[in-house]
A and B are shown apart, each in its own frame.
Chain A
Amino acid sequence: MSSAAVEVNGLQVVRGRRCILSLDKLVIEAGQALTILGPNGAGKSTLLKCCVGLSRIATGSVHVFDQPVHRLGAVALTHLRRRAAYLAQLLAPGSELPLTVREVVGIGRTGRAGLIRPLQRSDWRLVDHWIERLGLRSVATQLYSVLSGGEQRKALLAMAMVQQPEMLLLDEPTANLDVFWREQIVQTLDDLHQDGGLTILLVCHDLEAIPSCVRHVLVLRDGCAVAQGPVEEVLQPTLIAQLYGQGLTVLRHGTRFLLAPTAQRGML
């Protein structure tokens, strides 16, 4: 048994005739927090999907909690997904039925509860806890479909959190959120990592949305890894210029990072 939460070897994902992700080796230890950075179409979301068996792989292997995701049957896959909560990049359009925010968050407990057994009071207490923690109490009985994009994002994050996962795979969890709630989410992720030793895989575009607990970064471009290692070592101006073009620089403020135009340098 290895201590790796995720182990990727010789992974290739192909769509049509195009290879959209090619990764020789990636090991994420249990309890580690890793950010995956890269421009659009780099393969970041695909990598997360491969970890929970939502994307088919052409070659190679993906092991999560020592289980070969690429070879798991449907039932084993559902059990694995209960341990690894995945928050998709795209917001769910929701049902035509008028589901409330509380019901939507409760979906996160559905897999954990198992077939036949209805959700218990303890499940709903956990749902209410995360609704409160993510500031959704005032809209808990409102329809999910009428919420703003940011509120929907928080509801989906709450849905992932009530799973009480061992690993969180978050695809741009702070997209659509205002600065206050971005910071709340970042702080929450820090707390979760510190308190429960949660393994976190975080895809994001904004460097300022990387929590302090993230000490490692994987940078992808055109489906390939271009850099990997400790955040301080990887996030260098040369790499940023390579990824996003000239005129941008990385500013560091304590354990947090910020991407800014070169002219604004020294702002912090």
Chain B
Amino acid sequence: MDLLFWAPVLCAGIVAGASTGLLGGFIVGMRIPFLGICVAHAALAGAVFGALGGLTGPWLLVPALAAAALSAMLVGVVDPQTVRTDINVVLGIVFSLMMGLAFLGLGLFSVYGVSDNEVRNLLWGSLAFCRWRDVRIMVIASVVELLFVLVFYKEMRAILFSRSHAAAAGIHVTFVWTLFLLLASLVLTVNFQTVGGLMIYSLLANPAVAATRLVRGFGRTLFVSGLLGAASGLGGLLISALTDLPTGAMIVILSSLLVGVAAIVGRYLRARELPQSVAEDVNVT
């Protein structure tokens, strides 16, 4: 293994997995995992039109981030109670619009006779070609994410439990929720150019779901979710490097396997916990 080549790739895998896994903890907690794929497709649409406008390389992040933020805000401003529609239905509508725009843009490449290779890579990602410059951007986004978690930890816990109960408890739900949507746009956009728009969904959902099977409590779940995300990113890359199998597929399959393993381990842990609690009850009486 050429360490000079693989070092930034492995770092990118860890950072992408950890940041997306942590974000997934919130998104799965809110029961809106579709937000990930919706925002990722919006970012793709933004990047496609950015490329049509002549932007290349990291500059594609700018229109991608703008479109991602716009779609996230669109989801954020729609009050499910007012429109009497489940938020996942709203996400479905925004997602289909963004996907339509992305494919319209991709279609326009042939009309104008421009190569669409760079934006097509965004759909599948290019983790194996990640350089230190990309890692730096991903680390910055991850630091912003960590700061958000530290500052709004208790507010997010309340919002995740119930937006209406959080509002009734005197929490400025709209403010924190809007910031979270912007953060989600940033993390997803930065990661999607390396991980890929399609693969990012598995890194959002799988580590978080696995974490909910293993531990109890808000903080622990977020921590384990980030940890499992990093393990999926690193593990998938290592398997890919050692076997020459596709990187993205390895990460997705590994993260999915982790859910299965977590479900089995979680069941074992709960089974062990039960006799102890029964014993405690007996001692009390």
Q: What separation, in Å, do the CA atoms of A96 and B150 have in the docked complex?
A: 21
Q: What separation, in Å, do the CA atoms of A79 and B169 have in the docked complex?
A: 9
Instruction: Flag if B169 contacts A110 (CB, 8 Å).
Output: yes
Which of A97, A113, A163 sits near B29, CB closer than 8 Å? A97
Instruction: Flag if B170 contacts A78 (CB, 8 Å).
Output: yes
Instruction: Flag if A95 contacts B29 (CB, 8 Å).
Output: yes
CB distance from A175 to the nearest CB of B (A): 16
- Residue B134 interfacial (CB < 8 Å): no
CB distance from B218 to the nearest CB of A (A): 6
Q: What separation, in Å, do the CA atoms of A100 and B25 have in the docked complex?
A: 16
Instruction: Flag if B157 contacts A99 (CB, 8 Å).
Output: yes
Can you add 6 more A-B contacts, CB < 8 Å, to A75-B172, A103-B157? A80-B170, A95-B162, A96-B30, A106-B154, A113-B154, A156-B165
Instruction: Flag if B162 contacts A92 (CB, 8 Å).
Output: yes
CB distance from B248 to the nearest CB of A (A): 26
Chain A positions within 8 Å of B101 at CB level: none
CB distance from A16 to the nearest CB of B (A): 10
Which of A80, A112, A116 is the most central at the interface, judged by chain B CB atoms within 10 Å of its CB?
A116
Q: Give me 5 A-to-B residue pairs in the complex whose CB atoms sit less than 8 angstroms apart, sorted by A's number.
A: A81-B170, A92-B161, A96-B30, A98-B215, A116-B151
Chain A positions within 8 Å of B152 at CB level: 115
Measured CB to CB, the nearest residue on chain B to A90 is B164
Q: Which interface class (under 10, 10 to 19, 20 to 34, 35 or more) fits B?
A: 20 to 34
Chain B positions within 8 Å of A52 at CB level: 168
Q: List CB contacts (< 8 Å) of B253-276 with chain A.
A: none
Q: What separation, in Å, do the CA atoms of A159 and B166 have in the docked complex?
A: 10
CB distance from A191 to the nearest CB of B (A): 22
- Residue B37 interfacial (CB < 8 Å): no
Instruction: Flag if B154 contacts A110 (CB, 8 Å).
Output: yes
Chain A positions within 8 Å of B72 at CB level: none
1/0 per residue, CB under 8 A from A, across B151-179: the answer is 11111011011101111111110110000
Q: List CB contacts (< 8 Å) of A59-104 with chain B.
A: 74-75, 78-82, 85-86, 88, 92-100, 103-104
- Residue A54 interfacial (CB < 8 Å): yes
Give how many A residues have a beta carbon under 8 Å from the other chain's beta carbons: 40
1/0 per residue, CB under 8 A from B, across A23-61: the answer is 000000000000000000000000000001010000000
- Interface residues of chain A, those whose CB is within 8 Å of chain B, are 52, 54, 74-75, 78-82, 85-86, 88, 92-100, 103-104, 106-108, 110-113, 115-116, 118-119, 141, 143-144, 156, 159, 163
Q: List CB contacts (< 8 Å) of B19-40 with chain A.
A: 25, 28-31
Question: A99-B218, A103-B217 given as contacts; is B169 within 8 A of A108 (CB)?
Answer: yes
Chain B positions within 8 Å of A107 at CB level: 154, 157-158, 161, 165-166, 169
Question: A96-B31, A107-B165 given as contacts; is B158 within 8 A of A143 (CB)?
Answer: no
Q: What separation, in Å, do the CA atoms of A14 and B174 have in the docked complex?
A: 24
- Residue B216 interfacial (CB < 8 Å): yes
CB distance from B77 to the nearest CB of A (A): 14
Instruction: Flag if A96 contacts B28 (CB, 8 Å).
Output: yes
Instruction: Flag if A97 contacts B212 (CB, 8 Å).
Output: yes
Chain B positions within 8 Å of A80 at CB level: 170
Question: A98-B216, A100-B216 given as contacts; is B162 within 8 A of A54 (CB)?
Answer: no
Chain A positions within 8 Å of B166 at CB level: 107, 110
Chain A positions within 8 Å of B161 at CB level: 92, 94-95, 99, 104, 107, 144
Q: What separation, in Å, do the CA atoms of A239 and B30 have in the docked complex?
A: 45
- Residue B247 interfacial (CB < 8 Å): no
Chain B positions within 8 Å of A115 at CB level: 151-152, 155, 172
- Residue B194 interfacial (CB < 8 Å): no
- Residue B185 interfacial (CB < 8 Å): no
Question: A94-B162, A97-B221 given as contacts; is B169 within 8 A of A119 (CB)?
Answer: no
Instruction: Flag if A163 contacts B170 (CB, 8 Å).
Output: yes
Chain A positions within 8 Å of B169 at CB level: 81-82, 85, 107-108, 110-111, 159, 163
Chain B positions within 8 Å of A96 at CB level: 28-31, 212
Chain A positions within 8 Å of B217 at CB level: 98-100, 103
Q: What separation, in Å, do the CA atoms of A111 and B170 have in the docked complex?
A: 5
Chain A positions within 8 Å of B216 at CB level: 98, 100, 141, 143
Chain A positions within 8 Å of B165 at CB level: 88, 92, 107, 156, 159
CB distance from A69 to the nearest CB of B (A): 13
Q: What separation, in Å, do the CA atoms of A113 and B154 have in the docked complex?
A: 10
Q: What separation, in Å, do the CA atoms of A167 and B154 have in the docked complex?
A: 23
Q: What separation, in Å, do the CA atoms of A141 and B217 have in the docked complex?
A: 9
Measured CB to CB, the nearest residue on chain A to B81 is A54
Instruction: Flag if A79 contacts B153 (CB, 8 Å).
Output: no
Measured CB to CB, the nearest residue on chain B to A116 is B151
Instruction: Flag if A54 contacts B167 (CB, 8 Å).
Output: yes
